[in-house]
Structure 1
Amino acid sequence: MRSASTIASTAPALGPERWPLLRAAAFVALGWLALSWPWLSGRATVPWDAKAHFQAQLQFLADSLHRGEAPFWNPFVFAGQPQIADPQSLIFSPPHLLLALLDSSPSLQATDGVALGMLLLGGFAILLLFRDRGWHWGGAVVAALSFAFGCSAAWRIQHTGQVLSLAYLPLAWWALERALDRRSLAYGLLAGVVAGFMVLGRDQVALIGVYLLAGVVLHRWTSAARPLASARASIAPLAAGTVGGILVVGLPLVMTALLAGDSNRPEIDYEGAARGSLHPASLLTAFAANLFGTDGPLVDFWGPPSPAWGPVDLFLARNMGDVYFGAIPLIAILAMGVAGRAFAAREIRFTLAATALLLLYALGRYTPAFALLFHLPGANLYRRPADATFVIGALAAILAGYAVHRLLSGSLAKLSPSKVATGAALIAGGLAACVATAWAKDRLGAAASPLAIAVASLAGAAVLLWGAARTVPRRPTLAVALLTLGLVADLAISNGPNESTALPSAVYDVLRADSRNPTIALLKQRLAATAAPDRRDRVELAGVDFHWPNASMVHRLDNTLGYNPVRLDLYSRATGAQDHVALPSQRTFSPLMPGYRSRLADLLGLRLIVTRGDVAEIDPALQPGDLNEIARTVDGRIYENPRALPRVLFAAEARKADFEALLANGRWPDFDPTRTVLLQDAPIAKPLALGPAGKVEIRRYANTQVVVSAASATGGYVVLNDVWHPWWFAEVDGQPAPLLRANVIFRAVLVPPGEHEVRFVFRPLDGAWDELNSRIQGH
């Protein structure tokens, strides 16, 4: 009797010229349209990070471009951020950049369409992979739809950056295999460019994708009859790919690396990463998608890390543990791939091994393997090994599609009664584990409906697979249509819109540029009333709602806070700013800024504070009269800080100060910031005499350029209360001038007596080059 691997090698294969690519693409496109329609129609929108973070990023990008401004510095969150170095800024995402160029106010639907469209692109790339390997197009359709709407691609679609990285992966894989097969420089270059776009996400999915592509190359070398000859033949296409990748990602990657070094999270330690491990019980959701109540109200969720599991010390959102990728794919993997020994074939072993390795990585602290894998270069930059479920879903889709290929092509060894029993036992065992877990957690009632749906889905999938196998010899298109309809229906029911992936668009009205939100309107009105030549007051949106912190990017409000996991470390240390401030408890302070009644709050020009309830919930140290409540709206209360200082000041004298000591103890010296500036290194031989105050006015304020006019009889310092960063430069009357770090976190420029024009210019290329050279020389 022939082995499975022998059967696979002699199975009939269609060459690319006979493979029905257009038919397969039509099936995938129709399935994609049906599954995407709830979002494309506007009935719902992808919530959470997709809107609270990425919608705001996209709006800032579009608005900046249509205003004719460079989007490289963002003044509207955290008192200023180097946007060009932010891996989540979308500046380097081709589809988002195109959308931003076409539309100054991208709609929620358009943003969702980009994410879903990228998943469709990834699905089409899966078809190309299957076609080049001669695998049955029915298996390719199953793999493509499971890839796009299974596992984390469905349950975590709100993580836009990771979705983009995932979508590029199959296309890079296909181009890489073509480059190696054909020794093609053109395909090598294409593989490098696409992989570069994948790496532009600068997230963990991209990192895993790079390792996967490297694994493809190593597998080719080691499995070749002549490994050294295979390696030599691949040098030219791999070199072309390297060049393509560097051209795309080199500059952004360097900038992000420099930002990481100056940020609040230059690296993650082992314990920090281990808290993002995938709990082993989460794998049960491969059998029953909503086993733990993931798609309902948070109070009903009982999976890890909910209170039902006790102190598991995991830091994961509930949808991060759902890995359902379809009943047809699950049966294909367990019954045909494992029990039927389809995975014994050499042509699928790499994918199988990669899936197993990534499962060990995703489980993190629950296996000893993670302690070793965590030492891989780049692993310590990310805090969730569970993010590997994005790529696990893609690999599982390919495994399932391969098993379906073996079934439909007639190359699957006959399933003996023992193999059928083994496959049935594996599936029944998974369902039994679901029941046992629900029993142990006293949640049988809550799990009854998801388990019933799972049993029905699996039974229907088994019937469809059996029917497709019998139909395919005579009517192959009908056989594939049956599988497509069954898989689409299954994914629509189990992975369809839910509280984790779809909310009413009205929830995010405040993130629309044309929103008529009364709170935003009132903020703009009050800021206009306090506007002056030297003033540009800031606001703080704290504890209003999850999607509010970055609303300032949409409405051009200078915000002292925002929503971003990566912030300048200097600013975080000075102000206590955290990733997010959806709840009052998330607004923490620091020694230098112990509350709203503080010198740093005044220097920031923090005029208006918006919060859901009483501001004393955030800052209990406030005394009567420290802040004035000026309004209440449907969103919360608005408070005014009457002591907010102008954005630009003129200081006639400078004093030295130890900024590190100030950050640590918060003890400001006794000085008047409207007359005196504190400098770490005063660039003058002797102190300037204290004379009459100079006059300063902001002539132009743009993202990457601030123009100030200054006039004084004695000379002194123009102090701009914007965050200092080494990529900002200064000019006085068109000539370069030293940009000084002032009052711990701000900027200052020394000017001589008389009238002068001072320009603050953000030059990220020059700044990054200087900083890179400095770090290299420092080492």
Structure 2
Amino acid sequence: MNPLVLPKAPASRLPAKTRTVLAVIVLLGLTLAFYYGLWLPGLVLIKRDAYGLWLPLKQHMTERLTAGELPQWFPYEALGRPFIGTAATGIFHPFTVLYFLLPAPDAYRASTLLSCLLAAVGAFTLGRTLNFSRAGAVVAGAAFALSGYVVSFTEHLIYLYSICVLPLFCAALEKALVGIRAWTVAPALVWATVLLHGDGQTGYYFGFIALIWTAARAPGVQREACLRLLLVVSLAALLASVQLAPAAVVFLSSDRMQPELFQGEALYWSTHPLRLLTVLAAPVGENANPVEVGRIFFGTPQRGSTGGMLADSLYLGVPMVGLALLGGWHRRDLRVLALLGGFALLLALGQFGGLYAVFYNVVPLWSAFRYPEKWMGVVSFAAAILAGAGIDALRAGKGSPTPWLAMAILCAGIWLGLRTEAASAWTAIHFGASESLAGEMTGSAALAFLYSAGASLGVWMVILGARNGRLREAVLFSALVAILTLDLWRANFSAYRTGPVEAATFIPPLAQAIAAREGGLTPGRFRLIPIRESKHMVRKSLQRLLGQEAESVVRRQALDVEHN
């Protein structure tokens, strides 16, 4: 078979810097278009922790700082607890400035949007640092910013920010290893912001990532590389010490220091092997109860109202994964990304893989952290960057269209199989699911595989057109970016949810009446409102507007114990 030869586009007369700026503008435009719910006025993030946990905490932080006080104590949970010592409050992170400029819901959205933009720009920067073309770097940035894991964690800003700055951290570390020693400040600054934001777990994982990256990418004498890495670690710890010190005091007195008691919690959200299929075909079971889906299909036991999946979506898609495999095969110098991705995938399996349990019992401090599925963020990062390398491999005339056609046929075959009543019946019997749930799972999975077949077929047609000389390089790039972006948009868009800002600012009448009668809370005063747990009726119009999050909004406004 003849190698892929692309008709070259006429050389651009624009300066190189101008072309780079235009590429970044295109990338930012794609990201802003996808995350329009984070910048349009009158909206608020209403998904899980973004709505029920972080808004009240950030509001308390803002009130205390505005009053000229350092919020050392949070009096509204049980009989109170340390605030600064709870690292997740992130008081010392630069994003705190936004809460002085904007209302808390808008500041939280702005922080989330900035994190997603950092993901896109950081992946672009890393791509260019690794000698990607501008086209490859744009694909890497778009693929990462729109990946299922990143989109899902818009509900949890701490973990979102940490994974979003990982490409920037690796780019800075690459510079620190090959440039002058002064470059060690750059990765240390990025690393410190992760710790200042309160994510000690991912900050801890950054150390392993830095060690692997240094071992694989450092040129010359290893002693010099180790010295530079030590400088990065020391400077990051020093810069973040204002948060690490009080957090350590609280941490040492927590149950996380007792691995035998904490292990069940630590391994709770492990990525079930069956769920890895949703990396290639999604969404699956979108209209079903996520707690029920997690319990029956993905091995997540239900704990009260807790369950389901940590990340609503892990979707990367056939186009991204295929390009990543192509990039990893033809850019052997990027084996560190393949190594990181494979290592992270094994750890993400948690209780289903075995490696995480070994680390839990052997590696110091590993037992203090929870939820192995967080490693899927590193998998998404590695796949996105390698996908950018895959674009460059195609532009260089490498890669065959045949695997894409084969994948399209395979996905179409799975679609046909899952559409049958036999598939639904087998699912109900094998997993012990109700007929309606089994039908929802097989039906949605069938549709997801049909879309994956269409995306694979689209890539095949584009590459085949380029091989036959019918598509120029610019058209090839534009078509592949369109397929990749639309595929990720289709599958992942519902993983972040916004609603009217009134959902967060509305004050229930009962709360208004109590405040009018008793006044505000002051130190030494406590208010206990015993309200019986009960089922709440959610109007269909509200369900259509807010989706699965409608019940959280209703329960909060009803002064439900769990949500207040």
Question: If the length of structure 2 is used for normalisation, what is the TM-score?
Answer: 0.80
Cα gap change, 1:535 to 1:214, in 2 (>3 Å): closer
Q: C-alpha displacement at 1:398, in angstroms?
A: 1.5
1:391 to 370, 373, 378: 378
**Is residue 278 of structure 2 the alignment partner of residue 279 of structure 1?**
no
Report the residue type matching 2:23 in the other structure: A
Map of 1:618 onto structure 2: none
Q: C-alpha displacement at 1:191, in angstroms?
A: 0.8
2: CA distance between counterparts of 1:277 and 1:212? 20
Q: C-alpha displacement at 1:409, in angstroms?
A: 3.4
Q: C-alpha displacement at 1:132, in angstroms?
A: 1.8
SS at match of 2:240: helix
Q: C-alpha displacement at 1:495, in angstroms?
A: 0.8
**Is residue 316 of structure 2 the alignment partner of residue 325 of structure 1?**
yes
1: CA distance between counterparts of 2:560 and 2:440? 42
1:146 to 143, 146, 165: 143
2: CA distance between counterparts of 1:453 and 1:44? 29
**Is residue 527 of structure 2 the alignment partner of residue 538 of structure 1?**
yes
Map of 2:21 onto structure 1: 22
Report matched runs for 1:149-168 at 5 Å. Answer: 149-168=146-165
Report the residue type matching 2:389 in the other structure: Y
Q: Which has the higher contact order (CA 8 A, sep 6+)?
A: 2
Cα gap change, 1:192 to 1:543, in 2 (>3 Å): farther
Report matched runs for 1:202-241 at 5 Å. Answer: 202-221=199-218, 229-235=220-226, 237-241=228-232
1: CA distance between counterparts of 2:251 and 2:211? 25
**Is residue 38 of structure 2 the alignment partner of residue 39 of structure 1?**
yes
Report the residue type matching 1:322 in the other structure: S
**Residue-pair matches, total:** 515
Map of 1:459 onto structure 2: 454
Q: C-alpha displacement at 1:407, in angstroms?
A: 1.2
Any conservation in 2 of the 1:58–1:89 contact (CA below 8 Å)? yes
**Is residue 294 of structure 2 the alignment partner of residue 304 of structure 1?**
yes
Map of 1:188 onto structure 2: 184
SS at match of 2:528: strand
Map of 1:346 onto structure 2: 332
Map of 1:57 onto structure 2: 57
Any conservation in 2 of the 1:283–1:322 contact (CA below 8 Å)? no
Report the residue type matching 2:525 in the other structure: R
Report the residue type matching 2:293 in the other structure: G
Any conservation in 2 of the 1:150–1:491 contact (CA below 8 Å)? yes
Report matched runs for 1:363-382 at 5 Å. Answer: 363-374=349-360, 375-382=362-369
Task: Tell me the alpha carbon deviations over residues 2-48 of structure 1, each in whole angstroms, 9 at most, x when there is no partner.
Answer: x9xxxxxxxxxxxx967942122112111111111133224562421
**Is residue 520 of structure 2 the alignment partner of residue 523 of structure 1?**
no
Report the residue type matching 1:359 in the other structure: L
Report the residue type matching 1:189 in the other structure: V
Any conservation in 2 of the 1:331–1:458 contact (CA below 8 Å)? no
Report the residue type matching 1:415 in the other structure: S
Cα gap change, 1:380 to 1:448, in 2 (>3 Å): same
Any conservation in 2 of the 1:358–1:392 contact (CA below 8 Å)? yes
Q: Which has more helix, going by share of residues?
A: 2
Question: If the length of structure 1 is used for normalisation, what is the TM-score?
Answer: 0.59
In terms of mean alpha carbon deviation, does 431-440 or 362-371 score higher? 431-440
Any conservation in 1 of the 2:411–2:452 contact (CA below 8 Å)? no
SS at match of 2:270: coil
Map of 1:680 onto structure 2: none
Q: C-alpha displacement at 1:115, in angstroms?
A: 0.9
Map of 1:505 onto structure 2: 500
Q: C-alpha displacement at 1:373, in angstroms?
A: 2.3
Q: C-alpha displacement at 1:72, in angstroms?
A: 2.6
2: CA distance between counterparts of 1:111 and 1:469? 45
SS at match of 2:311: helix
Cα gap change, 1:238 to 1:190, in 2 (>3 Å): same
SS at match of 2:35: helix
1: CA distance between counterparts of 2:316 and 2:381? 9
Task: Tell me the alpha carbon deviations over residues 566-599 of structure 1, each in whole angstroms, 9 at most, x when there is no partner.
Answer: xxxxxxxxxxxxxxxx99xxxxxxxxxxxxxxxx
Q: C-alpha displacement at 1:384, in angstroms?
A: 1.0
2: CA distance between counterparts of 1:262 and 1:52? 26
Q: Matched residues, percent identical?
A: 22
Cα gap change, 1:282 to 1:634, in 2 (>3 Å): closer
Structure 2 unaligned runs (5+)?
4-14, 429-437, 536-550
Q: C-alpha displacement at 1:496, in angstroms?
A: 1.0
Q: C-alpha displacement at 1:124, in angstroms?
A: 0.5
1: CA distance between counterparts of 2:335 and 2:192? 26
1:635 to 550, 554, 558: 558
Any conservation in 2 of the 1:273–1:384 contact (CA below 8 Å)? yes
Report the residue type matching 1:394 in the other structure: F
**Is residue 403 of structure 2 the alignment partner of residue 415 of structure 1?**
no
Map of 1:565 onto structure 2: none
Map of 2:48 onto structure 1: 48
Task: Tell me the alpha carbon deviations over residues 480-517 of structure 1, each in whole angstroms, 9 at most, x when there is no partner.
Answer: 3333333332222211135xx314235733xx3xx443
Any conservation in 1 of the 2:172–2:183 contact (CA below 8 Å)? yes
2: CA distance between counterparts of 1:272 and 1:135? 41
1: CA distance between counterparts of 2:53 and 2:171? 31
Map of 1:447 onto structure 2: 442
Cα gap change, 1:209 to 1:242, in 2 (>3 Å): closer
Cα gap change, 1:420 to 1:527, in 2 (>3 Å): closer
Map of 1:87 onto structure 2: 87
Cα gap change, 1:635 to 1:391, in 2 (>3 Å): same
Structure possessing the higher radius of gyration over alpha carbons = 1
**Is residue 222 of structure 2 the alignment partner of residue 256 of structure 1?**
no
Task: Tell me the alpha carbon deviations over residues 84-113 of structure 1, each in whole angstroms, 9 at most, x when there is no partner.
Answer: 111211202212x1112323x32x243122
Task: Tell me the alpha carbon deviations over residues 281-327 of structure 1, each in whole angstroms, 9 at most, x when there is no partner.
Answer: 11011122122x1x33527x763323x67886897433536310234
2: CA distance between counterparts of 1:316 and 1:220? 40
Cα gap change, 1:309 to 1:85, in 2 (>3 Å): closer
Report matched runs for 1:464-483 at 5 Å. Answer: 464=459, 466-467=461-462, 475-483=472-480
Task: Tell me the alpha carbon deviations over residues 628-674 of structure 1, each in whole angstroms, 9 at most, x when there is no partner.
Answer: xxxxx972699xxxxxxxxxxxxxxxxxxxxxxxxxxxxxxxxxxxx
Map of 1:492 onto structure 2: 489
Q: C-alpha displacement at 1:207, in angstroms?
A: 2.7
**Is residue 134 of structure 2 the alignment partner of residue 126 of structure 1?**
no
Any conservation in 1 of the 2:119–2:164 contact (CA below 8 Å)? yes
Q: C-alpha displacement at 1:466, in angstroms?
A: 4.4
Any conservation in 1 of the 2:176–2:228 contact (CA below 8 Å)? yes
Any conservation in 1 of the 2:423–2:442 contact (CA below 8 Å)? no
Map of 1:6 onto structure 2: none
2: CA distance between counterparts of 1:30 and 1:48? 27
Report the residue type matching 1:280 in the other structure: P
Report the residue type matching 1:395 in the other structure: A
Report matched runs for 1:89-128 at 5 Å. Answer: 89-95=89-95, 97-103=96-102, 105-106=103-104, 108-128=105-125
2: CA distance between counterparts of 1:279 and 1:457? 21
SS at match of 1:356: helix
In terms of mean alpha carbon deviation, does 171-180 or 30-39 score higher? 30-39
Map of 1:603 onto structure 2: none
Any conservation in 2 of the 1:135–1:405 contact (CA below 8 Å)? yes
1: CA distance between counterparts of 2:138 and 2:534? 41
Quote the RMSD (CA, aligned, Å): 3.8
Map of 1:179 onto structure 2: 176
